[in-house]
Amino acid sequence: MQALASDNLTVEKEELSSDSLPDFSSESYKDAYSRINAVVIEGEQEAYSNFLDLAKLIPEHAEELVRLGKMEKKHMNGFCACGRNLAVKPDMPFAKTFFSKLHNNFLEAFKVGDTTTCLLIQCILIESFAISAYHVYIRVADPFAKRITEGVVQDEYLHLNYGQEWLKANLETVKKDLMKANKENLPLIKSMLDEVSNDAEVLHMDKEELMEEFMIAYQDSLMEIGLDNREIARMALAAVI
């Protein structure tokens, strides 16, 4: 009896610890992974096409932007391999719907030549989202996916950095557009996080932690761009109201 009681205690402790690794072969893990994996694959695919569009908006940096875009294709292939490795079929229709509002906003902005909004959506919002989620995922991923994601996250900083530098150099002329684009798009990131949080939980990724990591990456990036504390606070508040 004694031994049984203490065994139960150990199990309970392991389940409570968010850092403990999940059972990668369980049906519940594979089911949640089919959506999360698809979201990441679709996100990388759309990032590729967004960088090609950005290359058209900023022809003087076309070569660099195409190079950044090609990295996204590699990321996509890497994450496809992660799904295959776990024998999971990504739920791509789910992922397409998941990104549709944000992607439409990008395409609308592209159509009217609104570089600021395109950069905010792809380089700042999406890349901050990816960087924060990948960092949280790395702690609880299977060994194969962990290695892939560690390589990917390094590139994502280059993508974030590109947007930061451009917006910083043009800040005075784009500030109003930047605020407006933030107001329209940051709430979408918040709802997207809400939408995947249950599946992320199954992968042992904590929602609060995902939100914290995102807000840190996002606010850091706004600081790099040269916004002051008040402006950053005002922009961050768009996520809750």
Binding mask 21-60 for ligand PL3 (x = CB under 6 A): ---------------xx-xx--xx--x-------------
Name the residue nearer to ligand PL3 (CB basis): 63 or 194: 194
Task: Kindly state the helix (H) or strand (E) to which residue 12 belongs, with its residue range.
Answer: helix 2-16
Is 98 a residue that touches ligand PL3 (CB under 6 A)?
no
Residue 8: count other Cβ atoms within 10 Å of its Cβ: 10
Among 35, 75, 103, 135, binds Fe ion (CB under 5 A): 75
Least Cβ distance, residue 236 to ligand PL3 (angstroms): 19
Binding mask 126-165 for Fe ion (x = CB under 5 A): ------------------------------x--x------
Q: Report the partner that residue 200 touches, choosing among ligand PL3, Fe ion, none (CB closer than 5 to 8 A by kind).
A: ligand PL3
Least Cβ distance, residue 166 to ligand PL3 (angstroms): 17
Sign of CA dihedral 80, 84, 86, 89: positive
* Alpha carbons 215 and 205: distance in angstroms, whole number: 16
Among 102, 126, 186, 239, binds ligand PL3 (CB under 6 A): 126
Is 42 a residue that touches Fe ion (CB under 5 A)?
no
* Alpha carbons 182 and 80: distance in angstroms, whole number: 31
Q: Are residues 158 and 68 in contact, defined by beta-carbon separation less than 8 angstroms? A: yes
SS3 percent helix, strand, coil of the chain, rounded to 5, is 85, 0, 15
Q: What is the DSSP letter of 58?
A: S
